[in-house]
Amino acid sequence: MSTGLIDVHAHWLPASLFRLPAGSPFGGMRDQDGELFLGNLPLSIRTEAMSDVNAIIADMDAHGIALRALSPPPFAFAVSSSSEDYINEYNASLSKVVAESSGRLAGLGLTRLDDISAAQQQIRDISKVGVLAGVAIPPILREQSLDTGVLRAILRSAAEHRLAVLVHPMQLPRPEWSSYYLANLIGNPVETATAVASGILGGVLEELPDLRICFVHGGGCAPALLGRWAHAWRARADVRAASSSDPRDLFSSAYFDTVTHDRETLHLLASHAGEDRILCGTDYPFDMAEADLTAFVDNSGLDRAALQRNGAAFLGVGPRTAEPR
């Protein structure tokens, strides 16, 4: 088996879709002198890093990554009811990129987020085509999380059709997080932890034991809160009303990526989830990405072969044989 790593958390958006879906709260993306902007906000990303497959492969080769799963940047999530054309165009473009990558790329596409039956049909369509490994979804949608509404329906359909699900925060703004990049530094971990808690305490992970779901950024602040959730589940009837299993037991039924930026935090995550539930992730090409995945993995004492097996299991691709060129 190849020793190249499997990166399950990386983003790609073709330039033809920089307009973003209808109703996007962030406006469109644009290139300015080779740099990527979200509206008037500079993203500190070279445009080619987001949109050029050759640049993505070159980054993989430079950092010992055998397989990279591409998903949309979170501001491309289609949250409105008039985004079906955008979703279909993205998924078709991603499928083409994956099919032409000689096994170097996998894909986690978009799905409808505005209507349960439409979302279920989208999942069926993705499964029927059979090129994409799964879908990416937000952790919070219209003040709901994974335990209710369209997000729970997507998880049920994904489990039924054996598709992987990547849960990625949208960096939702709040007034108290308007400075110091706190919408990312605090907001993203809190969004993700909300989804983990909703999936556990809401009975979703208990209902869907075969669901392949990954919470990025190391599960956000969930690993540090798990003991609190378990205590409350034992102490309060309302906390355990939707799940009959201790949160500590359900935590290890999900996957989590390595994007923690801290060895000790990653060790805490692995102690709760188990090393067979840890996946390599980079968050490429954003400024919060783990630039040298191999060095971070090795310095953290993680086993490369185990990480590779975990990544292949999550993506449903079987043992890897591809080597970085």
Q: CB–CB of 126/91 below 8 Å?
A: yes
User: Scanning the structure block, which residue is given the tokens 């078709």?
Assistant: 92
pLDDT in tens, 173-197: 889 999 999 999 999 999 999 999 9
* The two structure tokens encoding residue 10: 């990386």
Q: How many domains does the chain have?
A: 1
**Helix 149-160 vs helix 116-129: angle between axes, to the nearest 10 degrees?**
30
| 90 vs 82 pLDDT, higher one | 90
The closest alpha carbon to 114, from 139, 89, 77, 147, belongs to 77
* Domain ranges, residue 43: 5-315
Neighbours of 300 (CB within 10 A): 17
* The two structure tokens encoding residue 217: 């950024």
The closest alpha carbon to 74, from 3, 150, 141, belongs to 141
| Helix (H) or strand (E) run with residue 201 in it | helix 187-201
- Residues 101, 157: Cα–Cα separation, whole Å: 27
Q: How confident is the model at residue 24 (pLDDT cuts 50, 70, 90)?
A: confident
Residue 236 maps to which CATH number? 3.20.20.140
Asked if the structure places residue 186 within a domain, the reply is yes
- Provide the sign of the torsion angle of the four alpha carbons 303, 273, 261, 73, taken in this order: positive
DSSP state of 177: G
The confidence score (pLDDT) of residue 224 equals 97
Q: CB–CB of 61/303 below 8 Å?
A: no
Asked if the structure places residue 325 within a domain, the reply is no
* The two structure tokens encoding residue 229: 């959730």
Asked if the structure places residue 71 within a domain, the reply is yes
| 291 vs 267 pLDDT, higher one | 267
Percent of the chain with pLDDT over 70: 97
The mean pLDDT of 112-138, rounded to a whole number, is 95
- For 263, list phi and psi in degrees, rounded to 5: -65, -45
| Arithmetic mean of pLDDT over the chain | 93
Given a cut of 70, is residue 236 above it in pLDDT? yes
Given a cut of 60, is residue 209 above it in pLDDT? yes
pTM for this entry? 0.94
Length of the chain: 325
- Residues 27, 35: Cα–Cα separation, whole Å: 17
Percent of the chain with pLDDT over 90: 88
Given a cut of 50, is residue 325 above it in pLDDT? no
Asked if the structure places residue 324 within a domain, the reply is no
Asked if the structure places residue 320 within a domain, the reply is no
- Residues 11, 107: Cα–Cα separation, whole Å: 10
The closest alpha carbon to 281, from 160, 192, 180, 201, belongs to 192
Q: How confident is the model at residue 250 (pLDDT cuts 50, 70, 90)?
A: very high
Q: CB–CB of 62/26 below 8 Å?
A: no
In sequence order, the β-bridge partners of residue 141 are 144
Given a cut of 50, is residue 88 above it in pLDDT? yes
The single-letter code of the amino acid at 125 is: D
The confidence score (pLDDT) of residue 40 equals 87
Asked if the structure places residue 308 within a domain, the reply is yes
The confidence score (pLDDT) of residue 319 equals 53
Asked if the structure places residue 167 within a domain, the reply is yes
The confidence score (pLDDT) of residue 3 equals 59
Asked if the structure places residue 321 within a domain, the reply is no
